[in-house]
Amino acid sequence: MRLIRTLTASLTAAVVFSTAALAGPAENAAGRFFERYDAQDVDGMVELFAEGASVHYVPFGPPGSLEEVGVAGWRGLIDAFPDLSNDVRSIRETADGRFAYVDVDISGTQAKDAFGIENQGRSYDVRHLFVVGIDEEGLITEMTAFWDNATWFRQLGRTDLTAGE
């Protein structure tokens, strides 16, 4: 019986290792980003980006720099939703390994006013699509995110669905 358990544990480790080895560079970068995002490690998230990288959260407006759009947004979300977490459904990579498409559910419970949404202590769980582009060194050069902003507002109790602050 002990031999069966040992073999099963070894096989499980081999399967996990071989699955990770099959991931390409964009999938690896995106996976590391979401691991750090789930841990609320903004500094760790930033380390994954190339100098001059851009971030675009489509419902919020035009793309911008990593600092003004990415870091400010992530810190704002974590501050307003201290239990912010994500559940990656899938990561798919383009054949050339330069882009990854991430299907992820992001959720949290609001603890303070933010993003023009008055705190009512409500929770949200909204599916997102992230497109992550990398350079030759495997650093993120661009990140674009899409989600249903009306659903986000509705789940948090905001009835005015305009994007204004």
For the stretch 105-126, pLDDT in tens is 999 999 999 998 999 999 999 9
**Whole-number pLDDT of residue 63:** 95
**CA distances to 106, 112, 147 from 144, in Å:** 15, 26, 10
**Whole-number pLDDT of residue 148:** 95
CB 100 within 8 A of CB 27: yes
Residue 53's pLDDT band (cuts 50, 70, 90): very high
pLDDT at position 16 over 50: no
Task: Please give the model's pTM, rounded to 2 decimal places.
Answer: 0.83
User: What value does the mean pLDDT of the chain take?
Assistant: 88
**CA distances to 16, 18, 20, 22 from 7, in Å:** 14, 16, 20, 22
**Whole-number pLDDT of residue 23:** 80
| 135: DSSP letter | -
Nearest to 31 by CA among 136, 148, 134: 134
List domains and CATH numbers for the chain. 25-155 (3.10.450.50)
